[in-house]
Amino acid sequence: NRLFSVLTPLSKEDKEFKQKLKNILGFNPTNLALYKQAFRHSSSTHEINEHLQSNERLEFLGDAILDAVVADIVYKRFEGKREGFLTNTRSKIVQRETLNQIAVKIGLDKLIKYTTRQSSHNSYMCGNAFEALVGAIYLDRGYATCKFFMEERIIKPYLNLEKLSRKEVNFKSKLIEWGQKNKFLIEF
């Protein structure tokens, strides 16, 4: 499949898509079909061609790879920090809201193929596409390139890890801790 894509000349549309990807990724993608799939929401697959796969499988893979890559980065960045701190910091980076915001900042929202009625129902479509993109990068170029993408193209320009690590997001947990400390029963 890779050999076939190298020998077949790219259409104008594919050349434009490849250039947009290169601008986002910081490297040349080799298997364009993977990246096209990464931006294909399930709502559009039946309208385009029922044999085309949506981005859901790549999203699944990308979610796992993203966890590993971000854990690797956080582990090395915060040397000597405890497991709870590292877990919380990783969670803040890979949470849906953060991924959605980053996806829009880097322009993924303009690449996603979906039906218009679906966009209003899926507020996490951009974050899901971001995860699918990471899955595509992994299959196309491997772990090291995923790590490069996250460090150089996402974390450095868009996330302040020190500030993010101090941000409190688990208010329910804090309330439970306060209740236990002050001998109050907290119920939800």
Q: Mind telling me the catalytic residues? A: 63, 131
Distance in angstroms (rounded) separating the CA atoms of residues 112 and 124: 12
